[in-house]
Amino acid sequence: MYPPLPNPTVTPSAPKLSDKNLMRRSASTVPQGESMQQVAKLIDTSKCIGCKACQTACLEWNNLREEVGVNAGSYTNPHDLTTASWTLMRFTEWVNPETQDLEWLIRKDGCMHCADPGCLKACPSPGAIVQYTNGIVDFVKDNCIGCGYCVKGCPFNIPRISKAEGKAYKCSLCSDRVAVGQGPACAKACPTQAIVFGPKEDMKKHAEGRIKDLKSRGYKNAGLYDPPGVGGTHVMYVLHHADKPQIYAGLPNNPVISPLVEVWKGAVKYAGLAAIGAVAALGFLHHAVSGPNRVSREDEEAAKRLAEGKS
Amino acid sequence: MTNSWTDIKNTDLVVIMGGNAAEAHPCGFKWVTEAKANRGAKLIVVDPRYTRSASVADLYAPIRQGTDIAFLLGVINYCIKNDKVQWEYVKAFTSAPYVVKAGFKYEDGLFDGYDETKRDYNRSNWDLEIGPDGNLVVDETLQNPRCVWNMMKAHVAEYTPEMVSRICGTPKDKFLKVCEMIAATSAKDKVMTSMYALGWTQHSKGSQNIRGMAMLQLLLGNIGVRGGGMNALRGHSNIQGLTDIGLMSNLIPGYMTIPTEREATFDTYMSTRGFKPLRPGQMSFFQNYKKFFVSFQKAMWASAATAENNWAYDYLPKLDVPAYDVLRAFELMHQGKMNGYICQGFNPLMSFPNRKKMTAALSKLKYLITMDPLETETARFWENHGEYNDVDPTKIQTEVIQLPSTCFAEDEGALVNSGRWLQWHWAGATPPGEAKLDSWIMAQIHLRLKALYQKEGGAFAEPITNLHWPYKDPNDPSPEELAKELNGYVIETVTDPNDPTKIVLEKGKQVVGFGVLRDDGKTACGNWIYAGSFNEAGNNMARRDNSDVDDTGAFSKWAFSWPANRRILYNRASADVNGKAWDPSRKLIEWDGTKWAGYDVPDIAPGAKPDVVGPFIMNPEGTARFFTRGLMRDGPFPVHYEPFESPVANAVAPKVRGNPAARVFRGDMEQFGDAKEFPYAATSYRLTEHFHFWTKHVQPNAVVQPEFFVEISEQLAQEKGVKSGGWVRVWSKRGSIKAKAVVTKRIVPLICDGKPIHIVGIPLHWGFTGAAKKGFGPNSLTPYVGDANIETPEYKAFLVDIESISGPVA
């Protein structure tokens, strides 16, 4: 058992996650934030029983109101991620061609919190998407313009746009809970510890033990899903068949950020550098569209000097 | 559970059969995942459907519903044939060497003494030979052909792998793989745990399903050990508490029984209860019955229960039938013989079989009172909800009174979990609106009835007017007061007979445990098995110390486990005849030369010598029973009987329909369908997203499983032209429902007796009140028949037909 996080104290403590810890900010730059331990959520599909406690915990903690839908011939309910359902159990009935045995693959879908987040890269609105130094990628509702670029940028098809509100929604990895030293609500609710949360290195180590166990049970391709194409993720899976992520309701075999987003970013890189000063000094909104999201140390220092000079 | 939830982490093999722990007990299931992750334990799931439990299993074997006994006796047969038996355990700790009475016999699916018209047996031959010294006749060599071992061996011989496959539809290779894995736990250092639930109880032979596994576990030496046991996963929060407290028509607390009308006097009652030992030197624990009984009577009627009036024995009702179980109650209501009904915390309109009969029965009542935190369908049975409750309110004269009560999060008290742990909880919220505690409501009813009797008199008023009611606020007994009463207390100071200055029990103090209860009226105890839960050390149910010495999984300082804070029942059987642990790595208690001691509270007298006193102290033999003598109505050994509605004839007893000893009311037999008309084998079950009929009232739960559906195989869907997500109609001889279809690979046709049997799965959580979409339940279809011993309705196996329909007009 991975030791569960202790319950929170009733006395208020200083927030453990704030703007001081920002690493990236969409369409804008931020000073390199105070570094934090990299965190990760590990979802072990081999321990998951598909009970959906994570789904209801997510709805309740985030105070989301999902519609009561209909049954469409599956246990997957709702039928897709929505602006209210930030996580979803996806059920796949798969017959293993090697054993002819049925396997019921159950995968908790939701934001993967990529180290190299395509949504943030694609986002044209300053500060609508932020990445913290612990790896959490969060949407900031007030800054969101609902353009949907994040959807295009995401290799996992996660963000959902509310047309009525003009806002994008996805899992926040419970950044508000992490800020007070807690793990995500889904992990807290999971009865079998199929979801655990902690430092990313610990999660990888924990996964190793699980993979060893699965291999001993004949799952020779058991492995960790931490795809390098997006720089690794802060939500990882233990899969019985890590050689075939696709069988788990279309989990991408090798996710990468859309070339369109990459090309766009690459082409404007130089212009972007010039724009930094402009943003910092003048705060022109439209510059945000071409804002870089990979900043070198020099860039940061330049930005810092500018910012300090201004203050 | 003989063991506890936390103990499951100690097992080597989990067998989930007759249940679906991952689905219905997801929180407890964490201990299965712990055993798998930390000690490489394996998980076998045997179920008609590939379930959520199966999705994390090492081996899944399909089985046709209602054929578990054939399967289990097949495994026993395999173990005997292949010498996979824990011999030392079997010889020393079970009834294997005892000789069965002459005259007992089994033939063509029936035991001797059957009376077809009464659907009952004369059980006088179903017993063991008793020698002239009053002790059982024993053949330690197991050579006597009539010893229990050889009788059992002969009884199971016909359940060959081929026969099992023919009856159960389980592919032979899968069955043999299951046998092999189970048989491996006959080793002294290997254990298996059995996790079962309503998948075994809800059959016309439910008790015998469980017997089958209990016999197998004894044969393997897996009872009384860490990581072993027979673990009944209770289907409802605190249903364990319900049975402990004796909330059945034939029970009083602590599994003592209500007298029958043949037991008019206390002496007659006691004459069949103070079991004398049947083997030399045995403990026969129920020799203490009188102490528990008298203490209970004192808790109920205090000074009105005296030695002179036989402790108010006459105040107890005397049963004229074996029990007023729910089927009998609704049958009486249906006949117009029961006119009023107080329905506290359950939903019979959706829960009991043959819904049409339920509606008719409730419509004949003069009044119905519901006490529930939710608006149940039962409370609105008279209201028209279109096709979901198609009744005419103008034709129903029943007066319905709804009393809103609190839910578990709004009150304080103990819930008893499946592992017998009494865990105290505190109120997390204030009751909404006019909702009141159940105990407050019950107090009001009692006090008002009492006042009426006192004012107006009436026949036999004493049991009510003399009821002991010592609460500080008579209108509102507090949870602590009630808990203390259940624990028991000293009425009169008792001194040591050898030294009158030495006080053994001091008046007014809580009793420390059941060991000090007396049959002379000096102690009172509401429920002897709860004695020790709230004593002078305080409220032990509220203990929250989760330390666990040497990681045994006992967690002895967490809450209180009845009886006596014992975590594993029969734990003396974890050690061999000399008192040494079978497996030193699984030590529980051991004999140190003078006494028993170890990690758990010994389930034996501390000084009982290991080679003399047997571990199964509740039986007068001191051993466990492969042969149950005359204690079960349908036979001392389990037999494979088909469900009353079965797609095939019984392969081992073709002439017998259903369980021959199961009670069937007049008119209900005609309501059973046959396979010609209703070709498909249906079963009902729960889904993890919902808890019975409660959570459909909770919006997020309604979201994650919104709408009633039935599940069928791809093959049946193709035959019937059903599309996944499309609409179907399913009907039985008793009713018809409409549902969405989930077409799935998780259900496959099983080949039984050479022909394919299609299975229709019907979950139970929908109705016409709450936040989820309106829907039906399986009880519109299920037959009105229960288990032969305890009358649990046969919800798990019945016949239906199915067709594709166009959806309802929007």
Task: Summarize pLDDT for B784-809 with one digit per residue, the tens.
Answer: 999 999 999 999 999 999 999 998 76
Give residue A304's pLDDT band: very low, low, confident or very high (50, 70, 90): low
Quick one: average pLDDT of B618-624? Answer: 96
Spell out the domains of chain B, with CATH numbers in brackets.
1-119+137-234+562-637 (3.40.228.10), 326-416+421-445 (3.40.50.740), 669-805 (2.40.40.20)
CB within 8 Å: B50 and A67 = no
Closest alpha carbon within chain B to A60: B700
- Are B661 and B788 in contact by the 8 Å Cβ rule? The answer is yes
Mean pLDDT of chain B: 97
Q: Which tokens is B476 given?
A: 């509102």
ipTM passes above 0.90? yes
**B709-713/B727-731 β-pairing:** unpaired
Average pLDDT for B494-505: 92
Residue A298 has pLDDT above 60, yes or no: no
A chain contacts of residue B700, beta-carbon cutoff 8 Å: 55-56, 59-60, 66
B743 close to A (CB below 8 A): yes
**Angstrom distance (rounded) from CA B797 to CA B71:** 16
Beta carbons within 10 angstroms of residue A106's beta carbon = 24
Which among B26, B743, B773 is the nearest to A53, CB-wise? B26
Which residue type is seen at A152? K
Give the H or E element holding residue A246.
none
* B745 has a chain A CB within 8 A of its CB: yes
Across the beta sheet with B367-372, what order do the strands follow? B340-344, B367-372, B399-404
Nearest residue of B to residue A218 by CA position? Answer: B58
Task: Please tell me whether the peptide bond between A228 and the residue prior to it is cis, using omega within 30 degrees of 0.
Answer: no
Mean pLDDT to the nearest integer, B488-498: 94
- Touching check for A209 and chain B: CB below 8 Å? yes
pLDDT at residue B193 tops 80: yes
Residues 55-74 of B with CB under 8 A from A: 55-56, 58, 60
How confident is the model at residue A263, as a pLDDT? 73
Looking at the partner chain, which of A77, A103, A106 has a beta carbon nearest the beta carbon of B705?
A77
Q: Which of A96, A101, A2 is nearest to A43 (CA)?
A: A2
Q: Could you tell me if B740 lies within 8 Å of chain A, comparing CB atoms? A: yes
Mean pLDDT calculated for residue range B699-718: 98
Closest CA in chain B for residue A105:
B55
Q: How far is CA B223 from CA B36, B230, B233, B624, in A?
A: 20, 7, 16, 10
Task: List pLDDT tens digits, range B24-82.
Answer: 999 999 999 999 999 999 999 999 999 999 999 999 999 999 999 999 999 999 999 99
Q: What is the DSSP letter of B585?
A: G
Q: CB-based contact (8 Å) between A249 and chain B?
A: no
By the CB < 8 Å criterion, does A66 face chain B? yes
**Closest CB from B30, B699, B707 relative to A191:** B30
Task: List the alpha helices (DSSP H) in chain A.
Answer: 53-61, 118-122, 149-153, 175-178, 185-189, 200-216, 259-267, 269-282, 297-310
| Residues of B with Cβ-Cβ distance to A46 under 8 angstroms | 56
Rounded Cα distance between B734 and B781, Å, is: 6
Structural domains of chain A ordered from first start: 19-62+75-260 (3.30.70.20)
Rounded Cα distance, A47 and B30, in Å: 9
C-alpha pair distances (Å), A141 with each of A126, B448, B657: 11, 60, 66
How far is residue A239's CA from residue A42's CA, in Å, rounded to a whole number?
11
**Chain A nearest CA to B690, separation (Å):** 10
pLDDT at position B236 is 85
The Cα of B71 is separated from the nearest Cα of chain A by a number of Å equal to 21
For residues A24-50, give the mean pLDDT.
95
DSSP β-ladder status, B256-257 and A102-109: unpaired
pLDDT at position B584 over 90: yes
Handedness of CA A70, A75, A81, A86 (dihedral sign): positive
Per-residue confidence at A9, pLDDT binned at 50, 70, 90?
Answer: confident
Tell me whether A52 touches chain B (CB under 8 Å): yes
**Interacting residues of B381 by C-beta distance below 8 A, sequence separation 6+:** B349, B358, B359, B362, B363, B368, B389, B391, B396, B400
Q: Do B58 and A217 touch (CB under 8 A)?
A: yes
Contacts A–B by Cβ distance under 8 A: 125
Residue A13: the pLDDT is: 81
Interface of A with B in 213-242 (CB under 8 A): 213, 216-217
pLDDT value, residue B367 = 98
Decide if B94 contacts B100 (C-beta within 8 A): no
DSSP secondary structure letters along B256-297: EEPPBTT--SHHHHHHTTSPPPSSTT---GGGGHHHHHHHHH
- pLDDT over 50 (residue A283): no
Per-residue pLDDT band at A266 (split at 50, 70, 90): low
B724·A74 Cβ contact <8 A: yes
The residue written with tokens 């298996």 in the block is: B192
Dihedral sign from CA coordinates of A208, A214, A216, A221: negative
> Does the structure show a pLDDT above 50 at A294?
no
Q: Which residues on A lie below 8 Å from B30 (Cβ)? A: 191-193
The model's pTM is 0.94
- Is B544 in CB contact (< 8 Å) with chain A? no
Q: How many CB atoms lie within 10 A of CB A216?
A: 10
CB–CB of B723/A87 below 8 Å?
A: no
Q: Tokens 């290997």 label which residue?
A: B190
B698 or A307, which is more confident? Answer: B698
Alpha-carbon distance of B239 to B201, in angstroms, equals: 14
Q: Confirm if B521 and B305 have CB atoms less than 8 A apart.
A: yes
Query: Touching check for B176 and chain A: CB below 8 Å?
Result: no
Please name the amino acid found at residue B462. E
Q: How many Å apart are CA B791 and CA B327, to the nearest integer?
A: 7
Candidates B59, B181, B691, B703: best to mutate against A (most CBs of A within 10 A) is: B703
Instruction: Please give the structure tokens belonging to residue B83.
Output: 């010498």
CB contact under 8 A, A73 and B38: no
Confidence (pLDDT) at A4: 79
Question: Which two structure tokens, joined as six digits, stand for B283?
Answer: 């403990």
